[in-house]
């Protein structure tokens, strides 16, 4: 079972002037997937506070995946990508590229996302948009890859035989 932590990055949610809807939307989807939600935190749009929270969750918690929601745009207070870069060991650039490409099917604004995905120790960290619909759609785009990434991070590197066939030869890949 994949263990997940969720962090909502939002000044207004922390202040209580706006309801956090993206965090609960991601929690609901994670539970539908059969994942165990270990915790859900709120933090203001402050790079240092975000970084410290991410490090604390990964270094002292037991989660395989840490999903952030919010703070990935171009507004001055959108600092989640910078905070994430400061704590990851390795970046996984293909995942946010895939999300941006798929997101273009839904909105031309998808390319404005500055989301960062990477690993810290044995945890995958993903930055998702702050809008509930965008957060869930973004997660859906990469959800099929997450179990494999978690396996690799935990040194479970055996790959099952491929059932796919090569498009030109018709033989197994």
Which pLDDT tens digit goes with each residue over 99-152?
A: 999 999 999 999 999 999 999 999 999 999 999 999 999 999 999 999 999 999
Question: In angstroms, rounded to a whole number, what is the distance separating the alpha carbons of residues 117 and 94?
Answer: 9
- What pLDDT does residue 61 have? 80
Residue 170 confidence class, pLDDT cut points 50, 70, 90: low
> In 3-state terms, what secondary structure has residue 4?
strand
| Burial (0-12, 13-18, 19+ Cβ within 10 Å), 118 | buried
pLDDT at 158 over 90: no
- The answer as to whether 10 is a domain residue is yes
Token output for 93: 């650039």
- Contact between 47 and 86 under an 8 Å Cβ cutoff? The reply is yes
- The answer as to whether 162 is a domain residue is no
CATH number at residue 149: 3.40.980.10
- The answer as to whether 169 is a domain residue is no
pTM for this model (two decimals): 0.90
Tell me the pLDDT tens digit for each residue of 22-80.
Answer: 999 999 999 999 999 999 999 999 999 999 999 999 999 889 999 999 999 999 999 99
Domain around 23: 3-153
- Number of domains the chain contains: 1
- The answer as to whether 173 is a domain residue is no
Question: CB neighbours of 124 closer than 8 A, spacing ≥ 6?
Answer: 64, 65, 66, 92, 117, 118, 146, 149, 150, 153
């Amino acid at each position: 079972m994949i263990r997940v932590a969720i962090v909502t990055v939002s000044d207004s949610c922390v202040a209580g002037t706006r309801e956090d809807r993206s965090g609960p939307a991601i929690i609901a989807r994670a539970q539908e997937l059969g994942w165990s939600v270990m915790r859900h935190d709120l933090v203001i749009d402050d790079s240092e506070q975000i970084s410290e929270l991410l490090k604390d969750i990964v270094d002292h918690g037991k989660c395989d995946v840490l999903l952030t929601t919010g703070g990935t745009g171009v507004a001055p207070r959108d600092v989640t990508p910078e905070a994430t870069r400061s704590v990851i060991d390795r970046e996984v650039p293909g995942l946010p590229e895939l999300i941006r490409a798929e997101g273009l099917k839904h909105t031309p604004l998808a390319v404005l996302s500055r989301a960062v995905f990477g690993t810290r120790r044995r945890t995958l960290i993903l930055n998702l948009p702050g809008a509930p619909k965008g957060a869930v759609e973004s997660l859906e785009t990469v959800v099929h890859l997450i179990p494999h990434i978690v396996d690799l991070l935990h040194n479970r590197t055996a790959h099952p035989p491929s059932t796919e066939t090569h498009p030109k030869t018709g033989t197994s890949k």
